[in-house]
Amino acid sequence: MDIARVLARIAEGDREAFAEVVEAFQRPLFRFLGRMGLTQAVAAEIAQETFVRAWRNLGQYQCDRAEFSTWLFSIARNMALNELTRMSISRESLMDSAAANAICARAAPVDEIMQQQSTARLHLAFSKLPLADRTALALVYVQELQLADIAALEGTTVGAIKTRVHRAKAKLRELLGAEHE
């Protein structure tokens, strides 16, 4: 999709062109929000609100300052951080959720159960990371943004983002390794 062309169509009054923006970005945005540690329902609400805010503020987007995806994900990121600040997810509630998922999955094939348990472990470990590290990892590996774009989004340096990513990966390895012991 040529985002510049779609944005030009929107600027010319083609309201339906925004549907192409939603189609192109809804899955990556939803994955990003999930990696931020949000439940599916909350991620869906924030994704929807992100698109509403993007539509309302499209006139404020400046293509010379950031890629459209960076601008869109910064909206989602800010809303996710606000939501995560409001929510105080306790380790017990996450463990209860993982246990409930495992109980519900008993009828599933063994490989599927193992995959679900692995995903639950990763999600739990990911949720233990500081928000800044979690955000950096999600932007690098889920959204596949360049380090310079993430640094601009976070208002920091490329070196700081590299450090966050390295630290977060090391902490994830530690957390996942500790679970096996």
b/e sequence 42-60, b meaning 16+ C-beta within 10 Å: bbeebbeebbeebeeeeee
Domain ranges of the chain: 1-88
Q: Quick check: 152 and 117 in contact, CB under 8 A?
A: no
CB 73 within 8 A of CB 32: yes
The pLDDT, as a whole number, for residue 98 is 52
State if pTM tops 0.85.
no
Residue range 84-121, pLDDT digits in tens = 777 654 434 544 555 555 545 444 556 666 666 677 77
> 74 with 81: CB under 8 angstroms?
no
Question: Hey, what are 102's tokens?
Answer: 């495992």
Query: In this predicted structure, what is the pLDDT of residue 104?
Result: 52
Q: Retrieve residue 121's tokens.
A: 């472990």
- CB of 176 within 8 A of CB of 125? yes
CATH class of 1-88: mainly alpha
